[in-house]
A and B are shown apart, each in its own frame.
Chain A
Amino acid sequence: MTDPHRILLAAAVLGGMAVWLLLPRRKGGGIALGGALGAVSLGLTAAALPGLADWLAQSLFWLLGGMTVVSAAWAVTLRNPVYCAIWFGMSLLGVSGLFFFQGAQFLAVATVVVYAGAILVMFLFILMLASASGRARYDRVSLEGLLSAACAAFLVGVLSIAVTGSLHSPKLDSSSAGIPQAQRQQGVLAAEHTKQIGRQLFGRYLVAVEVAGTLLLAALVGAAVIVGHARGPLVGPRATDPETAGGPRHG
């Protein structure tokens, strides 16, 4: 275990503690400490990763990646679900910027249009339709926060150490890492990016497109059927204690 691996391990442990402190809990507090630990963890991760060649590209990557990760952390840990959805949108913008940075322009635009434009708005609609009045009790309590944060920290630590270790092992250099950059300029980094995407999408991956279209149609019909069946007795926002309510109500 070399030095960057130790740093990555420490970053994963600190990040898990930060997320555990940031999760909603009964007693307030811990948010400032959690934020500080998370910042330290992000800094350690950035220090342990090997740097890019260009300082401009490096700082852009750190900016976009940090924005994505911090927004995702807020989206997971905030109490108010509307704020969760909005920070999720911010995280989506960061992911889209990372796609741009990588040369996947069509995917970046599709992410913004489909995710931030449609799916996120749908989440917000459902939140407005189904939001309990004010601050709901279940938003202020998390369930097994310590255990899940420890599992996630373990997973992230193992994954990042394995990736960083295996990518820089001397065995890899002879395989596909030796693709020359000029070949990439003709391939995934081609100037006519959308043309290439379309050619691939409707050529080699045509069956996948058809399957996705069928799936979208089935989901449309399914959602309509599910909502159409839900004509049971409508219950307003819950005023009583959840414990005193009975079993499932059959519509």
Chain B
Amino acid sequence: MADGELELLNGYLVVGAILFGLGMVGFLSRRNMITVFLAAEIMLQGISLSLTAWGRYHNDFGGQMLALLMIAVAACEAAVALALVLMLYQRKGSLDLFLWQDLREESVPRHIDRELPEALPEEPPAWPRLTPAGLSPEIPPEQTGYRPHV
């Protein structure tokens, strides 16, 4: 092709595939519920890039229409999902997905895929570093090790 349409389509499809893969990594491996939904939105973006690229290649508006509908569906999904996330947060006080892995009916025995990993060591708080100010007190050398009175 002399007009570069094929190369354009190729580039868009590869960028869409990379976006989809990145979103998949985030969806599978993050533990914060909100980050998981962000990753799902990144996957949707990759798909809509591919759709519009195919639409331009075939000279058809269907790709852009489908991407527009995807925006509408993504808005619905974000509204419902964020309401659910907020409700789950109010139940447990945490956004951690691991806390909900034993979700079940009451008659079903308890099954847990994996135990929560052990607690992370707490990082020491970052104390401010004070710069020394003023003169250092003059102490006689015989009193540095032992002080007769305070």
Contact = CB atoms under 8 A, between A and B. Distances in A.
Contacts of A131: 95
Nearest to B24: A152
B116 A242 contact: yes
A33 interface: no
Contacts, number: 319
B90 A76 contact: no
A242 B96 contact: yes
Given A99-B52, A141-B120, A163-B14, A216 B90 contact: no
A159 interface: yes
Majority DSSP secondary structure for residues of B touching A: helix
Please tell me the size bucket of the interface on B: 35 or more
A26 interface: yes
Contacts of B9: 167
Contacts of A76: 22-23, 25-26, 30, 35, 38-39, 42
Contacts of A45: 14, 18
Interface string B64-91: 1101110111111111101111110111
A193 to B, nearest CB: 10
A159 B19 CA distance: 12
A235 B79 contact: no
B11 A126 contact: no
Interface string A225-244: 01101101011111001110
B22 A72 contact: yes
B94 A98 contact: no
Given A65-B15, A68-B15, A212-B73, A126 B85 contact: yes
Given A52-B4, A99-B52, A212 B72 contact: yes
A19 B54 CA distance: 28
Majority DSSP secondary structure for residues of A touching B: helix
B119 A241 contact: yes
A52 B12 contact: no
Contact of A187 (B22, B60, B74, B78): B60
A221 to B, nearest CB: 10
A37 interface: no
A4 to B, nearest CB: 10
Interface in B1-59: 1-15, 17-26, 28-32, 34-35, 37-39, 41-42, 45, 48-49, 52-53, 55-59
A148 B100 CA distance: 21
A239 to B, nearest CB: 8
Interface of B: 1-15, 17-26, 28-32, 34-35, 37-39, 41-42, 45, 48-49, 52-53, 55-61, 64-65, 67-69, 71-80, 82-87, 89-100, 102-103, 116-117, 119-120
15 contacts: A52-B8, A65-B11, A91-B42, A119-B78, A138-B31, A141-B120, A145-B25, A152-B24, A159-B13, A159-B14, A164-B10, A167-B10, A219-B75, A222-B83, A248-B102
Given A177-B57, A201-B68, 20 more contacts: A75-B26, A76-B26, A88-B42, A102-B52, A104-B64, A126-B86, A130-B95, A137-B96, A138-B96, A140-B120, A152-B22, A159-B14, A179-B59, A200-B65, A204-B61, A212-B72, A215-B73, A223-B83, A245-B92, A248-B100
